[in-house]
Every structure is written in structure tokens, then in C-alpha cells.
């Protein structure tokens, strides 16, 4: 559920409400983006092309340039007032409320911007030397998913069904002409946004062609979401492909601006296969597609002629007894002519592989125990690839270099903690931010060759205004008796080891999510801090199946979601129950989405352990969940009936003996409300009492100010039934 943001996702923010007391209120903890709890750093950082200098944004009012020759002391290069003046000279009708956050260097003189407010949306290019707007493209009111080409001379967009392109001279071109509401072009919501898919259109490097997805949902069952805000409730029908049912059919098309012709890539095979890792070749004449079967255990990487759509070559394939999960496009480097980079976890940890252009060889460039998190670039002078990698059993994020010729890997950063890195175009420097469990953010520049760090900002502790609880990272052995798991304990403020405290287990537990890192407060959300201030021990464990620990660590969940995850969580509970200050009679659990599924599963399997639970947006039976995610981990209900039966909490509702609050968004289009409704119905039939609360207007996550209401409800439930 990569697209799912769990409750723990709201962490820190930018602005202040005002003075704070020694306790953190629910409002402060929830609406963190409006509070002071954000260590000072730079935002909107971009390296200047062909330069060791970088720019950043200040208070959405100014862009400053930090020059290496001036020890990175900032010098203003553009203010909100200057940009507004340039826009007034160019267009007259665009009024900026802020300096746009999104800015990029097109070359050493030009910055690109995207700006939108209730008056419209615009893409424009500003010349720093001339102090003038060089081009501006206004988007139509119905434009969505806009995608600029490399030089911002053209913008591709959709109207929700068809693809259009508008250029900086005002010329507009309609690319597709679908009249069928179930056949949509260019949208990023393809394959339910699994496989790393976030955009539906792809510009060729030279801007002469545009590739785009075409999705046909006419064979997918319609699912009604009921809107009760109208005088008479209305059904909003969405295409929702449930596990084992019919799936969408997807094609990849390419439009050529020179010929005004569209070609469909000839991706032979079943219509419900997945098209992943869309990548243009550097010559803009061929395009690469990772074709994944619906069973998600066989991937074939193929190249196609972008003009005719004909298959050119089948380069390589990857198979697995569990699943293959392509998450990244290929990477072509300008100064690397004879091959490209492919990412895969097939040898244990997500790693880089150098593949010859014809697919004849594949060179492993990985390191045992290190998961490639972000590819950062290739330095032709040293033949080094750079990437950000998760290590230290997933707790840290470090900068690594791996040499193409020798395949030797070197760790560049040295301190244990979490680095975020942007490397300069000449690969001499890297802008970084760093924190660990005891260190607020440090911002600076790293010398790639020597590893020396120049600190530009050492942030003050943002929590000095409140009484902070102690946060401790612990290691617990998994249920397999050998795998170390990362745990986090947050102690109540003014902790007394001679007292007994209620404990709340926060659980997510599913793939592509990690709750614990070696960052400030161990990655804990402010809501956990608030609850610790209310007298709870807050405990979290990243079980097997979660992220950043490699293939074997995650794939234990295959065909039996929740089984090994619960076994590991119970090892954490055993660890905590051995503490004399934990009241074993007052243990609660809560989670959202996959964590909601885990919460109910734990309550039903271990009613003698958990007194209270809160489950938000819970998956209750995997056969009701979407094909792309559900079948990857569980196969189809037809192929794995025992697994679906065993993991359904609906089938076990008769075992409920704890206090349980189930929360759901009535407009949830990810975990549809049928999950919790069927569970509630099973509880009724079995004479089990359960509390149920709906958010009528919200989808899978309760956001905005209503989240204060949500977190208050969760806290109060634990106060009422867990805290004496």
C-alpha cells in the first residue's frame, strides 16, 4: 500500500501557532505543519548547472544562491517582488501569493516555475540576468496532471480522459479523442499506482515525442461510493478491480510531433498484464517497457520502436517463486554509451545492475545488507555511481559510491543516522541534511572526495518548549529466532520505573512502510509524543514484512498476510511485558490501513493480551482488496483459498472479546467501506459489541482540520478504556 499514508505519517512542519505549554496538545501534535516543531534547514535546494553552487528558497519570498567561493554564504538572486514585477510586465493578470516552491535551473541563467492558485495555473521561465519572463504557458481550467518537457517549452496535460499539449506560443494540440468514460489516456492512476507509477505521460529526451498510458476499465466491475451530502444520496461509481476479478487493460502509445501520428507499442501478451518501468532510450527513437505478468512472478524487459510500435528486442527477464516487483525506470547516463542501470532486489537487496545495451550481460553493483533507496548519478571521471542506501538493519540512510569497473562499494558518509543528499552536477560536493535519534537536523555541504562536512546550519532542538519523554531504540529477535527487529519505546514524561503504566502498540507492519529510523525521536510522530505525555508507554516494532531490510525480510508475508507479522509483534509484546513498569493488564493497539488489519487480527488472535484496539480503514478480507497489491502478496482467491480464509478477520469475528473502535472514511476508494461493514455485520451475527465511526466526506485518510477530530477520538478511546 505505497500510496497509503498511515496515521503516523504527519510529523513536522513550518509555522507557529504561538507559545506552547510543557504539554503537547492534540491540535499541536496533529497539525504539525503549522507548529514550531521543525528543525531549521534549507528548503527547495537545487544545484546550479555546471557549478559547485546551489540555490534554496527562503520563507517562500526569496531565492538565494550559496556560492562555494563565498563559503556558501547566501546571496539573493530573486525575490517575490522581483518575480511579480517581471510577471506584471509580461502578463498583467497573474498575482503571486508566494514565491513558488517548485523551481529548477534550466541552465546557468534560467529558472523554471510552476504556480497555481484559484485564478489559474501557469508554467513559466525566468531569466536571472535579464530579470524578465522568457516564456509563460497558462493551463486551461480543466487541465490536470500537467507535465512539462525538459525546457518548459511544452506542457502535456489531460482533461481527465484525453491528452493535450500546449506550447509557449499558445498552440494547443489534442492528442487523443476518447469519448468513452472508461477509456482514459495519460492519467497517472494506472495499475492503481503500484510499481512506482505516479505519472501517465513520458516526454522523450529531445521533446519530439510523448509516450502515454491508455487505460481501458470497461471490463472492471463498477463499485459504488455513496455521497450523502446531496439532498438525495448519490452513487459515485468507480472502477475497482478486486482480487481474482477482471482487471483493467493497459497499453502504451507514443505521439510523434513531427508526423502528428500515434503508434501503439506492440506489447503482445494477456491484456491484463502490467506495463512498468517506462523509459525512453537516449536517442528518443526507442522506448523500454517492463512487462510483468498478472501473477507478478515473471518480468520481461523489452525495447520498442517508438515510431512504429514494433518490438525491437527482449533484453532480459526476471522470475521469482514469490513475486517480482519492478519499482524504477531504467537509467541512461549521457556519458555511459554501452549500457544502462537497472534496479532489482533479485539477489537479496535492492541494488544497481549495469546492463549492456543488448541485454547480453548484467553486472551486479550491490552490497550485502544495503538497500538502494535513491539513485543519485554517475561520475564519468571516476566511473562511480552514487546512491543513498539504507543500512544498519534499515535504521540509517547513508551516501554510497560503487565503481563500475571494480564493482567495489564505498560508504561516503560516516555518522550513524539518516542523511538526505543532493549531489552537485560535477560530483565534487553534496548538499546534505542529517539527524539521528538525539540530533536535530544538521544542514551542510559534503566534500565527496575527502568526506569532510561543512556545517551550514546546526538546528536548535525544536522541542525545548515542552517536556519531552525519553525515546529509546531497542532490538528484539523475531519469531524465527534469528532476525533482529527494530523497536522504539517512548516513555511517559516524568517516568517512574517503580510505577506501572498502560501501553499502546502502534502497528503498521505491511510492505513498503518503515516506522522506525535513526532520526530525531526515532521517526516517531508527534501524536505518540502527546500520548506519552498523557501517561502511556508508546511502543512500535518493525516486523518482518516491512521496508528497508531486503527481499527475504519482506517476502515472508507471501500468501499469508499477517501471520509472520503478528508472530513478530507478539515477540515485541513479550519483550515489553517483561518490563516491571508495563501493566500487562492494560495493553492497547492501534493502526491504520494495513495497520488496521493488523490491529483487528491481533485482538482476535490474542484477546487475553490486548484490552483495547482502534482500527482505521482496515482491510478485513483480502478478497475485497485491489488486484495489483492483493494478488502480489496473496495470489488470487482461486489460487490461494486457504490463505484468504486464514487471514480474513471477518471469519474470526466470534473471537472478539476486547474493546474495539473501527473507523472508516465513507468515500474510501482504497480500502472500500465494505471491509469494515462486513466485519461489523459478522460481529452482530456473533453477538459481539464493537464501536464504529464514519467520516462521511473522507477517503482513505482523514486529513486537514478533521484530523484533529480523528486523533482526539482515538486518544479518548484509550483514555476511556485503557487508562485508569
DSSP state of 416: S
Name the strand (E) or helix (H) holding 454: strand 453-458
Q: Considering only CA atoms, which of 373, 367, 329 is closest in space to residue 348?
A: 367
Checking DSSP bridges between strand 582-592 and strand 501-506, what pairing results, if any?
parallel
Spatial distance between the Cα atoms of 334 and 599, rounded to a whole number of angstroms? 49
Active site residue: 191, 558, 698, 700, which one?
Answer: 700
Residue 113, burial from CB neighbour count under 10 angstroms (0-12, 13-18, 19+): buried
**675, three cell numbers:** 471491509
DSSP state of 345: -
Are the beta carbons of 109 and 127 closer than 8 angstroms? yes
Are the beta carbons of 671 and 619 closer than 8 angstroms? yes
Sequential DSSP letters for 455-524: EEEEPPPTTTTS-PPPEEEEEEE-TTSS-EEEEEEEPPTT--TTS-EEEEEE---STT-----SSGGGG-
Are the beta carbons of 226 and 234 closer than 8 angstroms? yes
Asked if 668 is an active-site residue, the reply is yes
Sequential DSSP letters for 218-276: TTSPEEEEEE-SSSS-EEEEEE--BTTS---EEEEEEEETTTTEEEE----S-TT-EEE
Residue 77, burial from CB neighbour count under 10 angstroms (0-12, 13-18, 19+): middle
Active site residue: 379, 668, 675, 676, which one?
Answer: 668
Are the beta carbons of 607 and 659 closer than 8 angstroms? no
Helix, strand, coil % in the chain, rounded to nearest 5: 15, 35, 45
Q: Considering only CA atoms, which of 122, 125, 168 is closest in space to residue 146?
A: 122
Q: Considering only CA atoms, which of 701, 698, 700, 681 is closest in space to residue 690?
A: 681
With a CB cutoff of 8 Å and minimum separation 6, the contacts of 16 are: 34, 35, 36
Sequential DSSP letters for 343-362: EE-TTSS-EEEEEETTSS-E
Q: Considering only CA atoms, which of 433, 444, 366, 349 is closest in space to residue 401?
A: 366
With a CB cutoff of 8 Å and minimum separation 6, the contacts of 676 are: 615, 617, 618, 620, 662, 664, 692
Spatial distance between the Cα atoms of 199 and 693, rounded to a whole number of angstroms? 34
Are the beta carbons of 243 and 627 closer than 8 angstroms? yes
Q: Considering only CA atoms, which of 367, 361, 345, 341 is closest in space to residue 353?
A: 341
Active site residue: 420, 593, 601, 676, which one?
Answer: 593
Give SS3 for 196.
coil
Determine how many CB atoms are found less than 10 A away from the CB of residue 602: 28
Give SS3 for 179.
coil
DSSP state of 331: B
Spatial distance between the Cα atoms of 23 and 205, rounded to a whole number of angstroms? 53
Spatial distance between the Cα atoms of 389 and 683, rounded to a whole number of angstroms? 45
Determine how many CB atoms are found less than 10 A away from the CB of residue 326: 22
Catalytic residues: 593, 668, 700
Amino acid at each position: 500500500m505505497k500510496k497509503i499514508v498511515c496515521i503516523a505519517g504527519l510529523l513536522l512542519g513550518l509555522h507557529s501557532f504561538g507559545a506552547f505549554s510543557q504539554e503537547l496538545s492534540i491540535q499541536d501534535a496533529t497539525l504539525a505543519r503549522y507548529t514550531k516543531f521543525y528543525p531549521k534547514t534549507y528548503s527547495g535546494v537545487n544545484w546550479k548547472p555546471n557549478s559547485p553552487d546551489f540555490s534554496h528558497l527562503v520563507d517562500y519570498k526569496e531565492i538565494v544562491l550559496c556560492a562555494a567561493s563565498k563559503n556558501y554564504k547566501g546571496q539573493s538572486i530573486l525575490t517575490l517582488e522581483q518575480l511579480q514585477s517581471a510577471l506584471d510586465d509580461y502578463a498583467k493578470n497573474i498575482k503571486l501569493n508566494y514565491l513558488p516552491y517548485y523551481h529548477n535551473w534550466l541552465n546557468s541563467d534560467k529558472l523554471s516555475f510552476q504556480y497555481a492558485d484559484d485564478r489559474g495555473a501557469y508554467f513559466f521561465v525566468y531569466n536571472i540576468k535579464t530579470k524578465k519572463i522568457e516564456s509563460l504557458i497558462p493551463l486551461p481550467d480543466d487541465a490536470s496532471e500537467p507535465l512539462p518537457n525538459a525546457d518548459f517549452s511544452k506542457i502535456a496535460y489531460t482533461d481527465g480522459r484525453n491528452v493535450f499539449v500546449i506550447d509557449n506560443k499558445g498552440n494547443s494540440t489534442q492528442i487523443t479523442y476518447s469519448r468513452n468514460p472508461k477509456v482514459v489516456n495519460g492519467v497517472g492512476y494506472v495499475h492503481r499506482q503500484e510499481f512506482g507509477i505516479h505519472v501517465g505521460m513520458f516526454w522523450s529526451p529531445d521533446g519530439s515525442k510523448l509516450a502515454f498510458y491508455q487505460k481501458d476499465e470497461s471490463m472492471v466491475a463498477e463499485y459504488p461510493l455513496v455521497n450523502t451530502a446531496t439532498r438525495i444520496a448519490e452513487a459515485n461509481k468507480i472502477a475497482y478491480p478486486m482480487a481474482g476479478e477482471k482487471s483493467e487493460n493497459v497499453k502504451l502509445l507514443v505521439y510523434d510531433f513531427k508526423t502528428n501520428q500515434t503508434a501503439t507499442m506492440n506489447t503482445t501478451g494477456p491484456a491484463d498484464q502490467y506495463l512498468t518501468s517506462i523509459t525512453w532510450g537516449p536517442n528518443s527513437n526507442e522506448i523500454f517497457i517492463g512487462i510483468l505478468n498478472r501473477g507478478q512472478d515473471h518480468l520481461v524487459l523489452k525495447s520498442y520502436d517508438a515510431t512504429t510500435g514494433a518490438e525491437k528486442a527482449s533484453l532480459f527477464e526476471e522470475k521469482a517463486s514469490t513475486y517480482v516487483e519492478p519499482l524504477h525506470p531504467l537509467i541512461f547516463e549521457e556519458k555511459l554509451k554501452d549500457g544502462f542501470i537497472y534496479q532489482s532486489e533479485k539477489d537479496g537487496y535492492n541494488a544497481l545492475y549495469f546492463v549492456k545495451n543488448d541485454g547480453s550481460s548484467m553486472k551486479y553493483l550491490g552490497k550485502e545488507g544495503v538497500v538502494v533507496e535513491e539513485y543519485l548519478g554517475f561520475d564519468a571521471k571516476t566511473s562511480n555511481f552514487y546512491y543513498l542506501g539504507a543500512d544498519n538493519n534499515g535504521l540509517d540512510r547513508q551516501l554510497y559510491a560503487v565503481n563500475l569497473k571494480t564493482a567495489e562499494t564505498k560508504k561516503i558518509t560516516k555518522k550513524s543516522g539518516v542523511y538526505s543528499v543532493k549531489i552537485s552536477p560535477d560530483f565534487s560536493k553534496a548538499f546534505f541534511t542529517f539527524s539521528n535519534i538525539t540530533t536535530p537536523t544538521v544542514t551542510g555541504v559534503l566534500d565527496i572526495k575527502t568526506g569532510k562536512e561543512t556545517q551550514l546550519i546546526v538546528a536548535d532542538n525544536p522541542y525545548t518548549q515542552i517536556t519531552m519523554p525519553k525515546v529509546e531504540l531497542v532490538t528484539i529477535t523475531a519469531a524465527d529466532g534469528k532476525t533482529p527487529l527494530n523497536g522504539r519505546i517512548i516513555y511517559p514524561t516524568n517516568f517512574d520505573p517503580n510505577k506501572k503504566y498502560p501501553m499502546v502498540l502502534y502497528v503498521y507492519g505491511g510492505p513498503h512502510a518503515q516506522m522506525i529510523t535513526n532520526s530525531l525521536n526515532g521517526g516517531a510522530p508527534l501524536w505518540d509524543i502527546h500520548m506519552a505525555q498523557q501517561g502511556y508507554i508508546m511502543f512500535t516494532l518493525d516486523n518482518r514484512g516491512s521496508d528497508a531490510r531486503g527481499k527475504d525480510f519482506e517476502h515472508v508475508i507471501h500468501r499469508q498476510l499477517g501471520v509472520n507479522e503478528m508472530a513478530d509483534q507478539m515477540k515485541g509484546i513479550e519483550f515489553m511485558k517483561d518490563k516491571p513498569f508495563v501493566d500487562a493488564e492494560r495493553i492497547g493497539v492501534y493502526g491504520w490501513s494495513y495497520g488496521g488489519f493488523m490491529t483487528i487480527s491481533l485482538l482476535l488472535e490474542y484477546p487475553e493480551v490486548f484490552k483495547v484496539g482502534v482500527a482505521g480503514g482496515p482491510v478485513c478480507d483480502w478478497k475485497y482488496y485491489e488486484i495489483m497489491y492483493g494478488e502480489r502478496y496473496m495470489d488470487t482467491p482461486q489460487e490461494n483459498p486457504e490463505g484468504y480464509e486464514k487471514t480474513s478477520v471477518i471469519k474470526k469475528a466470534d473471537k472478539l472479546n476486547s474493546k474495539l473502535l473501527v473507523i472508516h472514511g465513507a468515500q474510501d476508494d482504497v480500502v472500500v467501506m465494505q471491509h469494515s461493514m462486513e466485519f461489523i455485520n459478522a460481529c452482530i451475527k456473533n453477538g459481539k459489541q464493537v464501536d464504529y465511526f464514519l467520516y462521511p466526506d473522507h477517503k482513505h485518510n482523514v486529513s486537514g482540520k478533521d484530523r484533529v477530530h480523528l486523533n482526539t477520538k482515538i486518544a479518548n478511546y484509550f483514555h476511556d478504556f485503557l487508562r485508569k
